[in-house]
Amino acid sequence: MVPVGDYASMYRERMLCKYGGMGKGRIYRPKVARAERNLRIRGVDYCVYEWGEPDAPLLVYLHGWADTGSTFQFVVDELQADWHVIAPDWRGFGRSQCNCSSYWFPDYIADLHELLGNYSPADSVRLVGHSMGANVASLYAGTMPERVRAFINIEGFGLLDSDPDDAPARYRSWIEGEALAQEFSRYASFEELTARINKRHPAMADSEAAFVAREWAKQESDGVIHLRADPRHKLPNPVLYRRAETLACCRSVTAETLLIVGGDSTFAEHVAGAADPMFPDSSSVSIAGAGHMLHFEAPRALAVAIEEFLLLTL
C-alpha cells in the first residue's frame, strides 16, 4: 500500500490562513461553483450536484450513508484538472426525496444505472465511491463491467458475513421496527450540529463543519434543525449480508481499480482487512492523518490520489 503524507493538518493550516482565522459563525466558501439538477429516476426525485463544464471528462462521485453528494465540495475545490463532476444524493438522503417504506441495495444499483444513462449513455465512466457509495459502485462495476472504465473505492470494503441462523430474528426486528418511531438526531441550532461535526472530525476547520451542517440538515418551521435523511434508513435490513455474493461481483470488475484508506481509520479492520480479497489486482493508497471521512479530513490528499489515478484513464 502506497502511503500519502499527513495532509490533514497542512490542509487545516492552509484554510485557516486563507479565511483569516475562520472563527465561529463563518461558513466555508467554495472555490468551484456548483449547480443542482433534479432528475426523476425510478420514481424518486433525485438531486444531483454538478461542478465544471459538461464537455470536460466525467467523474461520478457516490457518497456514503447519511452523507450527501454536496460535501464532496472540499475535494472538488482541490482538483487541478478540468472535470465534469456529478454527485447525486442517494434516495432518501440530502435533497433527494423518496416515498419509500424500505431501502434496498438493488435499488441503489439500478438508480445508478439510470443516472449514468442520463450523463453518459454511450461511454464508460469513472466512478469514485465512499463507504456505502463505494459498496454500491463495487456491485455495479461487477454487474455492468462494460459501463465502468475506472473505479476508486474509498473505504468501502463490504461487511462481515452474516450467520444464516440470524434470519428469523432479523426478519422479526424489521417487522416490529416499522411500527417504532425511527428518528435521526435533532439540534437546537446549526451551531450545535457544527460543534458535533467538529468534535468527530477535529481536522476540519470550524467553517468547513458549518458548511457540512447546512448540507446535512435544514431548519424546519419549528426552528429545530432536522437532518436531511429519511428515518426509515435506520430500520434493520431484513436481508442478511452475503459476502460471497459481493465477492462474486467484485471478481467480475474489469475496470482499473484503486483502493483508498485513511491511515487512522479502523473501518477496514472491521471487516477483518477484507479489502484485498475483494479486488486482488487493485492498487492501493493510504492517506496518513485521516480517518474514515477522508473527504472531510484530508481533501487535498484525496484529490491528489484521485487525479493521479484517473488522469491515466484520459
Report DSSP letters for 146-215, one per residue.
GGEEEEEEES----PPPPGGGHHHHHHHHHHHTTS-----EES-HHHHHHHHHHH-TTS-HHHHHHHHHH
- Residues spanned by the domain of 262: 2-21+32-161+241-313
Residue 253's pLDDT band (cuts 50, 70, 90): very high
Give a yes or no: residue 289 inside a domain.
yes
In a domain, 252, yes or no: yes
Coil/strand/helix, residue 54:
coil
Evaluated on CA atoms 302, 307, 312, 313, the torsion sign reads positive
Q: Flag whether pLDDT at 8 surpasses 90.
A: no
Q: What is the CATH number of the domain that holds 263?
A: 3.40.50.1820
pLDDT digits (tens, 9 = 90+) for 151-160: 999 999 888 8
Cβ atoms 203, 302 nearer than 8 A = no
State the average pLDDT over residues 72-79.
98
Is 302 in contact with 260 (CB distance < 8 Å)?
yes
Q: Which secondary structure element, helix H or strand E, spans residue 310, and what is its range?
A: helix 299-310
**Count of the separate structural domains present in the chain:** 1
- Whether 209 is covered by a domain: the verdict is no
User: What percent of the chain has a predicted confidence (pLDDT) above 90?
Assistant: 77
Average pLDDT, the chain: 89
d(CA 168, CA 65): 26
The average pLDDT across 4-19 equals: 44
Note the Cα 204 to chain centre separation in Å.
17
Which pLDDT score, from 0 to 100, does residue 270 have?
A: 60
pLDDT band at 278 (very low <50, low <70, confident <90, very high): confident
For residue 228, pLDDT beyond 60: yes
pLDDT range class, residue 87, cuts 50, 70, 90 = very high
Q: What is the mean pLDDT of residues 165-169?
A: 96
> Which pLDDT value is given to residue 31?
97
256 neighbors 150 (Cβ within 8 angstroms)? yes
Question: Is residue 191 within 8 Å of 217, Cβ to Cβ?
Answer: no
* Spatial distance between the Cα atoms of 64 and 79, rounded to a whole number of angstroms: 20
- Among 84, 86, 87, which residue's Cα sits nearest to residue 52? 84
> Could you tell me if residue 227 is inside a domain?
no
What pLDDT score was predicted for residue 101?
A: 84
Average of per-residue pLDDT across 188-204: 96
- Mean pLDDT over 120-141 rounds to 97
